[in-house]
Amino acid sequence: MPDVKKLPVTGLIALLVATLTACGGGGDVGEKTLRVGTLSDSKPNAYQENGVFTGFDNELLKAIAQKEGLKVEFVATDFSALLGQVANGTFDIGSSAIAQTDARKKTVDFSAPYNYQALGIEAKETAGITDENSLAGKRIGVVQGTVSDSWLASNAPTAQAVRFPNDAATLSALKTGAVDGAVFDQATAEDYAKNNPDAKLKVTKAITTTIPHGFAFRKGNTELIDKINDGIKKVVADGTWVKVHDQFEPTAPVPAEFKPGQ
């Protein structure tokens, strides 16, 4: 590194700018490709199909990015690691139907809401599981660190929680009988029941909540958060939100605030 004492003022300024840029301290967010941490196996919200990341959350984010002139690339990870990876800068954005809980707000910042959390208890038709009261003493699969995990602990404390790193592992355990039941996002649970007829799975109870979903960001990344929030407003106003919702979650009701013109 050159001796800063011998540099003219203009040279010192140039050196400082170059150093800040190299450390990620400058530059408009629109000038770089944003890394998005997401899931590869969580239909219909965030999954990979034919090598392409898709799902309600990811397609909505693509539409938001297009309206804001942002470039995004999606990278698969496990949900249990996602928020930590957003917090440490591995990813610029987290996209995977992330419920905005108070505990998570200590780790990351969130966008404005773009959907709401709903859960589904799922089991084989012969398992004798109907609702939270029937989970006592049973092995119930959940993805570690999700709202499903915390909901099970609060609402069925005598159930034996079996924690997995992702949806695929949880579903596999449910299909093979390694667990008696599972708790997923409602739309995910319905998709699994529909697309695994041989397993004879059934969503025995749907649980609606008022917990909003949001895209996750490193704390203090206000420039990017503001752009994404502006994009959310635009995709709601022009009907894109409803179009994407109807593609991936056609049976779920559309909250009034996400209807065009609201």
- 175 inside domain: yes
151 vs 149: CA distance, rounded Å:
6
What's the confidence (pLDDT) of residue 66? 98
Q: Which of 172, 192, 210 lies at the terminal end of a domain, its last residue?
A: 210
CATH number at residue 205: 3.40.190.10
Do residues 52 and 106 both lie within one domain? yes
- 16 inside domain: no
Do residues 33 and 109 both lie within one domain? yes
Do residues 96 and 165 both lie within one domain? no
Taking the chain (262 residues) in consecutive chunks of 10 residues, what is each chunk's mean pLDDT?
47 40 50 95 95 98 98 96 97 97 96 95 96 97 95 96 96 98 94 94 92 97 98 98 95 89 68
Question: 58-69: per-residue pLDDT in tens?
Answer: 999 999 999 999
Question: 85-126: per-residue pLDDT in tens?
Answer: 999 999 999 999 999 999 999 999 999 999 999 999 999 999
Do residues 187 and 203 both lie within one domain? yes
What's the confidence (pLDDT) of residue 14? 42
Domain with 92, as residue range(s), is 29-114+214-258
Do residues 238 and 168 both lie within one domain? no
What's the confidence (pLDDT) of residue 27? 52
Do residues 106 and 229 both lie within one domain? yes
Do residues 59 and 97 both lie within one domain? yes
What's the confidence (pLDDT) of residue 183? 98
| pTM for this model (two decimals) | 0.79
> How many independent structural domains does the chain possess?
2
